[in-house]
Chain A
Amino acid sequence: MGKLGLFRARHLVSRTSIGAEWETIQRYKNLTLLDAIKHTLSYADYNLPPQPRTSPWAKTISNRKSMARQRNMQRMAKTEGKGLQNWWVNHMLTTKTPFLERMTLFWHNHFPSTIDQTKQPSALFEQNVTQRRHALGNYGNLLFAMAKDPAMLIYLDGYKNVKENPNENFARELLELFTLGGTNYYRENDIKEAARAFTGWGIDDRTGKFRFYPERHDGGIKTFMGNRGNLTGDDVLMILMKHPRTAETIAEKMWNEFISSSKPNAAYTRRWAKHFRDSNYDIKALLVAVLSSDAFWDPKNMGALIKSPVELTIGTMRALPYRLRKNNLSHNLSIMGQSLFAHGSVKGWSGGNDWISTQSLMRRTGLLTNLTRGNLRKANDSKMMQHMPDCSDEELITWLLPVPPLNPLPTQPGRQRLVRALVLDPAYQVS
C-alpha cells in the first residue's frame, strides 16, 4: 500500500487531532493509510495535569438541601466551574495525544452535564475522567458508567427518581439521545416504565459515588420495549444495547464528527453500526471503519466539516506560534458557542453548520484576526519563523487549508503575511 503523502496526511491529522500539527503530518506522510490510522488510535496518554480545586459532594450536600444557601451554591459552582473549564482547555492545549481529548470531547457532547444545572464541578471533573477512560474503549461500558455517573444523576434528576415519584427526565434522554436516537423507536410508555426501572439509583451522601437505595426502588413488574418482568435499570440498559438503533445513533454522530456536516449517509452508517455491534461496541473498531472508509477520503468531503470553536482556537494555537491567554481562551470558546461543561441543552452542541451564525462568525473572525496580528512590515518575524515549518509556499497552503483559498493571496511577499492571509481565509474555518 502506498504512502499517505502530505495532502492525505494533513486530512487525517486535521480531523483527528486538535489542529493540524506539522510534525505529526510529517511523521504520517510516510506511513500507509492503515498504519497512520492505527497510530492515531493507539497513541493515548491518560495522565492528567493536577486536578482543579473543587468542593466534594459531602460538603455541598447540606447547601443543596437548604433554600437559603442556594446563592452560595451558585457562587461556588461558578468559581470552581471556571477552574474546571480552564483545566481542560489547558490540557487540550498541551496534550501530546490530542485524539484522546478530541474523543473525550465527543463523548462530553454525547453525554453532557453542565456546571449550571449540577452545581457540582467535583462530579463534572470525575465524569470527564470517566469519559476519557472509556473514550477509546467500549460503548457499553461507557453507557453503564454514564447511567451511574453522579454528575449525570444530578443533571437529569436521576437521584430524585424514587418509587413514589418517578422522574422521567433521564429515561427520556437515554432513549431519545443516548441510545435509540429520535422519537420514532419507542413509545411514551417505554419512557415511563424505564423511569420506574431506574428508581433507587442515587448518590451516597458521604462518598459522593453512585449508590443503589433498594427502599426507593420500584420492584414491580414493568414492560419495556416488549420485555416484561421486574426490570432493573441495568436490564433496561441491556435491552437498549441489544437494539440495532443504539449502534446506528453513534455511527450517525461519527458521520457528522469525521465526514461531513451533511445528513448521514445511511449506506455507510448502517454498515459501520453493524460492524460496531459485531465487535461488541468496541469504539476503536468503529473508528477504524470510519477513518478507513472511502467516504472519509472522498475529495468531495474535504472541507465538508466546520471546525468547532475548540478546533479553531486551540487547534490554531497548537499548530501555529500564536498565543492567547488561557482564561481568555475558555471565555472565547464560550462566546463562539462551545462553553465546556455548559451545553445549552442535554442534546449537546448541535455543531456542524450550526457552529456558524452571523454572530459566531464575527467572533471567530475576530479571534483569528487578534491571534495573527503582528508586525506585518517585517517580512519575516524571526522569532515566529523559528516555529514555522521550512517548506514551500505551496506546501504551506496545502498544510493550512483543506481546499484552495477563497480569497486572493497577498501579492506582497513574506511568510508571516501569507500565514495570516490563509488563517483569515474562509477555507480555514472548515476541515
Chain B
Amino acid sequence: MDRREFLKYSGLLAAAGMSPELLLAAEGKMPEKIVVFVELKGGNDGFNTLVPYKDPNYIAARKNIRVTERVALPLGVQDMAMHPRLAGLHKIWGTGEMAWIQGIGYPGGVLSHFRSMDIIETGSHSEQVLENGWLSHIVPGYKQGLHGISVSNDGGSLGPLNSSRLNSVSMQSPRTFVSQSKIIKDITPVSSTPALAHLTNTQHQLFEVGNQLRAKMSRSLRQKKTTRSKGVLGHSLESVAQMIIAGIDSPVYKVTQSGFDTHSGQVGRHNNVLYQLDHGLSRFIHTMKQNGLWNKVVIVSYSEFGRRLGENKGGGTDHGTASAQFVMGGGIRGGIYGDAPDLTRLDSNGNVAHTTDYRQVYATLAHRVWRQPNNPWQGHRHIPFI
C-alpha cells in the first residue's frame, strides 16, 4: 500500500462533539461547591489514623506501633481518637466541621495496590473492570466546561478525573502551567486512532485551560510568593487555593500524598506523612477561611485500602481492607459515621470486614453536593455528613 491509498483509508476526521465542549473558558464562574480530593497513596492505616485507642483488641494486636492513650487526641465519642500528628485537623473536629467515616471498604477487598486503586477510582465492585474515573458519571451533568484539576509534583495521575468524557487537566502548579502552556497551539480533536484522539483532546484542553488560567491568574501569579507551605502536598494545596481564589471554574481538585505503604518501620514513616497531611490541609483551610470560601469547600480523603490490624515483625503493617476516611468543610456535619469494624472477627489474612461501602460516599456526594440523584450508586445508602 502506498501513502496515497493510506491517506484515503485512514481519513483523519475531525470528530466534532467527540469530547465535551469546553465553554469559552474565561467566562466560567466559580462553582457553587468545590470538592478537593486528597489521595493517600499506598494504603493508609485506618487504625492508627482514627484510633480505637481503648479497644483491648487494638491494644493487643499492636504491641509496638499503636497510638497510646497518652498521645492520642480523643474525639470525645465512641472512645475514638485521632493520631497525634493530626493536631491541626483535630481543631477542625472541635468546630464540628469534620466527619470521620469508619470501616470504609468494599466486598471482596483486593489487596493489590493497583487493582484496588482502580476499583476505588472508577467506582467498580471487586470483580468489575471499568475504564472511566467515577466522576465522569457525575460532574458532566453538574456543569459544562472544565471539570477538574489534578495537582501533583509529577503532574501524574488524574485518578477519579481520568476519562475522555471529562475536561480534566493535570499540572504541577498554575505558575508552571501558565508559563509552559504558552507554546501550545489549539487543535481540533481527531479520532483516527485512540492514541491520536487522546493526544489531540489533551492538547485542546491544555490550550483552553491555559487561556483561562492566564486570563484570571496572571496578576496573582505575578505577586511575590508569600508561601509558608512545606512538602509536596503543602505546595499542591497552595496551588489549589490560588486557583479557587482566582475563580477558576473547576468544581473538583485532586491532590496526592504518597508514602502510606508502611510495611516496615511504620511509626516514623506514618508520623511523617500524617504530619504532611495535617500541615498542608491546615494551611489550606486557614486560607479558605480568610477568603470567606470555607463554606464552599468539601475536602474528601481516599486511599486504596487500609492495613492489617496486627502489626508484623518489621514494625509495620501489611495490606488490609477497611479503613477510615474523612470529609471536611464549612458545610459539613461533623461526627463519626458508619460502624466501627469488628476487631474480633478477622478473615484468614487477619483483616477486618468493612462496614461502610466506599460507594456510599460517592452516592452522597453525587446527590447532595452535585444534585445528581440519578447516578450509578443511587442504590447505596447516603451518609448524612452533608
Contact = CB atoms under 8 A, between A and B. Distances in A.
A7 B10 contact: no
B313 A164 contact: yes
B272 to A, nearest CB: 14
Residues of A in contact with B, size category: 35 or more
A404 B7 contact: yes
Contacts of B6: 7, 299, 302
Interface in B199-226: 199-200, 202-203, 205-206, 209
A261 interface: yes
Interface stretch (B86-94, B166-174, B235-243): B166-174
A160 interface: yes
B194 A356 contact: no
A188 B155 contact: no
Contacts of A164: 313
A426 B192 CA distance: 13
Interface in A348-392: 352-353, 356-363, 365-366, 369
A430 B192 CA distance: 12
Contacts of A183: 110, 112, 115
A160 B314 contact: yes
A344 B154 contact: yes
A126 interface: no
B95 interface: no
B198 A356 contact: yes
Given A176-B112, A299-B9, A344 B156 contact: yes
Interface stretch (B22-30, B182-190, B373-381): B182-190
Given A7-B3, A299-B1, A430 B206 contact: no
A279 to B, nearest CB: 30
Which of A5, A7, A359, A369 is most buried by chain B, counting CB atoms within 10 A of its CB?
A: A359
Interface residues of B, number: 51
Interface stretch (A34-42, A270-278, A303-311): A303-311
B360 interface: no
Nearest to B164: A353
A246 B263 CA distance: 28
A302 B5 CA distance: 13
A403 B200 contact: no
B46 to A, nearest CB: 19
A366 B183 contact: yes
A303 B197 CA distance: 10
A165 B7 CA distance: 62
A359 B9 contact: no
A403 B11 CA distance: 10
A202 interface: no
A360 B111 CA distance: 30
Which of A169, A337, A406 is most buried by chain B, counting CB atoms within 10 A of its CB?
A: A406
A303 B183 contact: no
Contact of B12 (A7, A353, A369, A406): A406
B195 interface: yes
A430 B114 CA distance: 26
A362 B181 contact: yes
B3 A398 contact: yes
Contact of A7 (B2, B183, B203): B2
B104 interface: no
A172 B115 CA distance: 12
Contacts, number: 148
A426 B180 CA distance: 17
Given A165-B313, A366-B180, A369-B183, A157 B112 contact: no
Contacts of B314: 160, 165, 167
B194 A260 contact: yes
A420 to B, nearest CB: 13
Contacts of A228: none
A77 B334 CA distance: 46
A325 interface: no
Nearest to B258: A344
A361 B184 contact: yes
B245 to A, nearest CB: 21
A207 interface: no
Contacts of A26: none
Contacts of B115: 176, 182-183
Which of B6, B199, B206 is most buried by chain A, counting CB atoms within 10 A of its CB?
A: B199
Interface string A282-304: 00000000000000000111111
Nearest to A160: B314
B101 interface: no
Contacts of B10: 299-300, 302-303, 403-404
A412 interface: no
A345 interface: yes
A361 B194 CA distance: 16
A357 B312 CA distance: 38
A426 B171 contact: no
Contacts of A427: 196
B328 interface: no
Contacts of B170: 357-359
B195 A363 contact: no
28 contacts: A7-B3, A7-B6, A165-B313, A169-B263, A183-B112, A188-B349, A260-B195, A299-B1, A299-B6, A299-B9, A300-B9, A302-B10, A303-B193, A303-B196, A306-B195, A344-B156, A345-B114, A357-B170, A358-B155, A358-B206, A359-B156, A359-B177, A361-B203, A362-B176, A362-B180, A404-B7, A407-B185, A426-B187
